[in-house]
Amino acid sequence: MSTPETPPPAPPANKPTQPRNPLHGVTLEAMVVGLADYFGWDELGRQIPIRCFQIDPSVGSSLKFLRKTPWAREKVESLYLFMLRDQRRNAQE
């Protein structure tokens, strides 16, 4: 009679899979809302000159555009990382 093989142990649940990635687990909506709160829509439209941030901006229209446009999403992610670094610098002062 053979014994069933036991599966390998699962990785610990409390250890994140991407510990050095600040974007891990952050939704696109959270990024847009955070940027709009931090910079305001006017400044966000100047930083990333796309129409969904400049003309009648809203989170919904921005998400719809950013999900379809990889280059714009990359710019939003980059500005979000800049915002996080800026917030950390300001908190240390």
Domains (range + CATH), the chain: 28-92 (1.10.720.30)
| Whether pLDDT at 73 is above 70 | yes
Q: How confident is residue 93, by pLDDT bands cut at 50, 70 and 90?
A: confident
Tell me the pTM: 0.77
Instruction: Tokens for 69, please give them.
Output: 């446009």
- The answer to whether residues 38 and 83 touch, using CB atoms and an 8 Å cutoff, is yes
Q: Which residue from 56, 69, 57 is spatially nearest to 28, judged by alpha carbons? A: 69
pLDDT of residue 23: 86
- Residue 84 CB: number of other CB atoms within 10 A? 15
| Whether pLDDT at 5 is above 60 | yes
Q: Which residue from 18, 16, 41, 30 is spatially nearest to 77, judged by alpha carbons? A: 30
